[in-house]
Amino acid sequence: MAESKKQNEWLEWGKAIIIAVILAFLLRTFVFATSIVEGESMHPALEDGERIVFNKLIYIISEPARGDIIIIQHPQKNYVKRIIGLPNETIEMRDHTLFIDGVKQDSTFVNEYDELLTGNFGPIEIPEDSYFVMGDNRAISKDSRNGLGFIDRSDIIGRSEFVIYPFSEWQKTR
């Protein structure tokens, strides 16, 4: 009888472990994933080498919004950038000031120095189902202005939620 009880206990532990592994796999595949920030283009919001958790499910149930820090799937590598312009908007940088559809925008996530280093461009009309992205460290960022171009909706694979490494830097990324 003790032998039977021990076998049942092992069976229950085995079931629990299998369920946990399947659940972790499903969460990792369809809901959350991690990425490592490469480079300084998102400084000060994100630093080189930080590991972030991004939400893969969010854009299935909602649309990307201005200010979201997103993960962009690109053939060579994935990029982490901030959404600045939305589909069908006209974006322009004039005299160190961002205008969207002719309305001056306050850039709360870019410091004044980086704003001064952002050159004039536009006006540029963003196509349907595309986004205009920039790094917060605009002086060195490869983004929609200089190499990435407009970002197709289908290339956005998630929204950054948390910095999880290094442990001393745990924080929400929005």
Per residue in 15-45, pLDDT (tens digit) is 888 888 888 787 766 677 888 888 888 888 8
Euclidean distance between CA atoms 137 and 41, whole angstroms: 5
* Torsional class of 54: left (φ above 0), alpha (ψ -120 to 50), beta (otherwise): beta
pLDDT at 33: 82
Asked whether the bond before 64 is cis by omega within 30 degrees of 0, the reply is: no
Euclidean distance between CA atoms 7 and 152, whole angstroms: 54
C-alpha 139 chain-centroid distance: 20
Euclidean distance between CA atoms 108 and 96, whole angstroms: 14
Domain ranges (residues) in the chain:
31-172
Fold of 31-172: Umud Fragment, subunit A (2.10.109)
Euclidean distance between CA atoms 60 and 54, whole angstroms: 13
Q: What is the 3-state secondary structure (H, E, C) of 113-137?
A: HHHHHCCCEEEEECCCCEEEEECCC
- Report residue 137: phi and psi, to 5°: -95, 75
| Active-site annotation, residues | 41, 81
Q: Which residues of the chain register pLDDT less than 70? A: 1-2, 28-30, 108-117, 167, 169-172, 174
pLDDT at 112: 60
pLDDT at 8: 80
